[in-house]
Amino acid sequence: MRIIYLFCLLLLMSACEKEHCAVTEDDIFVFGTGYGYCGGDCAHLYEIRHGKLYPDNISNLYLDSVTFSNVPLPDSSYQHAKSLPGLLPNYLIQHPSETLGCPDCYDQGVIYVELRRKGKKTTWKLDTNTGALPPDVQAFALQVLVVMDQLR
């Protein structure tokens, strides 16, 4: 029994380094959606930074450099999004800068996720058809879409 306990403890401790598991207050978390074939404002991204939510300054995710307003949205908007960084699946942390599914391949859009930690930027592009995503990522992607609807 003691061996099983020690094995489980070692497994738990080695699962991931603390700094790579959870998104912290010092990290910058970006999420949103974009569409390649549309007219007008085709990108809707948000940045969570130091407990505030900032909207993007871009209209096209594929053509524009991603920048954000310096003026945060009201706290009521932040309240909708504040749980997302804590929901970032370990699968994504373990598969940095991946494209999952076939985002925007048939004009369905893309879920864009970015994590900036200690000067390093990691991005993920996820299919909005969550059934095309790995099971560990599906609930997170659905929640991003729910938050996006709440922020409109």
Q: What is the 3-state secondary structure (H, E, C) of the chain?
A: CHHHHHHHHHHHHHCCCHHHHCCCCCCEEEEEEECCCCCCCCEEEEEEECCEEEEECCCCCCCCCCCECCCCCCHHHHHHHCCHHHHCCHHHHHCCCCEECCCCCCCCCEEEEEEEECCEEEEEEEECCHHHCCHHHHHHHHHHHHHHHHHC
Check pLDDT > 50 for residue 128: yes
Q: What is the pLDDT of residue 21?
A: 54
Mean pLDDT of the chain: 87
Beta bridge partners of 116: 28, 121
CA distance 109 to 79: 25
The predicted model scores a pTM of 0.84
Q: Would residue 51 count as lying in a domain?
A: yes
Q: Provide mean pLDDT across the span 109-137.
A: 96
Check pLDDT > 90 for residue 137: yes
Q: What is the pLDDT of residue 11?
A: 34
Q: Provide mean pLDDT across the span 105-130.
A: 95
Q: Would residue 56 count as lying in a domain?
A: yes
Under the banding of pLDDT at 50, 70 and 90, the label for residue 4 is very low
Check pLDDT > 50 for residue 67: yes
Q: Provide mean pLDDT across the span 125-141.
A: 97
List the structure tokens of 136: 């560990």
Q: Which residue has the higher pLDDT, 80 or 17?
A: 80
Under the banding of pLDDT at 50, 70 and 90, the label for residue 116 is very high
Q: Would residue 117 count as lying in a domain?
A: yes
Q: Provide mean pLDDT across the span 84-112.
A: 95
Q: Would residue 11 count as lying in a domain?
A: no
List the structure tokens of 95: 């598969």
Q: Would residue 8 count as lying in a domain?
A: no
Q: Would residue 6 count as lying in a domain?
A: no
How far, in Å, are 11, 54, 111, 118 from residue 23 at the CA level?
21, 17, 18, 11
Total domains present in the chain: 1
Q: Would residue 9 count as lying in a domain?
A: no
